[in-house]
Amino acid sequence: MLGLGFVSLTEALDLTTPAGRAMAGLLAVFAEFEREILRERVRAGLAHARMEGKRLGRPQTAGRKVDRIRELHDKGVSKAEISRRLKIGRTSVRRLLTVPKGRRTP
């Protein structure tokens, strides 16, 4: 132990005293409680959105261009050039070229 103590002058909190340590413990308990309440609300909101049929997560961008990617690739355009032309990542181009023709995205 280093023998250091914490004293906050703006909050009048002295963690070197028993009362100060008790107050810090109470603050920690309330912070954890607030965090758990927020977590419950977020989960309830996500469940509600799913029940309404909303699509959650990151929107598809590159996946919608799979037909154009294949068309350019079949014409012999390089993956890097396809990436530049369509303004999507090279990794997305490589990944989408491995998707079977009947499917839209992996």
pLDDT at 52 over 90: yes
Whether 73 contacts 85, CB under 8 Å: no
Both tokens of 106, joined, read 């992996």
pLDDT at 104 over 70: no
Indicate the SS3 state at residue 48: helix
Please state which of the ranges 16-20, 51-55, 59-63 shows the lowest mean pLDDT: 59-63
Other beta carbons within 10 angstroms of residue 95's beta carbon come to 16
pTM (predicted TM-score): 0.53
Whether 16 contacts 5, CB under 8 Å: yes
Q: How confident is the model at residue 103 (pLDDT cuts 50, 70, 90)?
A: low
Single-letter code of the amino acid located at 20: G
What's the confidence (pLDDT) of residue 9?
87
- What letter does residue 65 receive in the DSSP assignment? G
Higher pLDDT, 61 or 14: 14
Angle, helix 90-97 to helix 66-74, in steps of 10 degrees? 80
Q: Where are the domains of the chain?
A: 7-51, 62-97
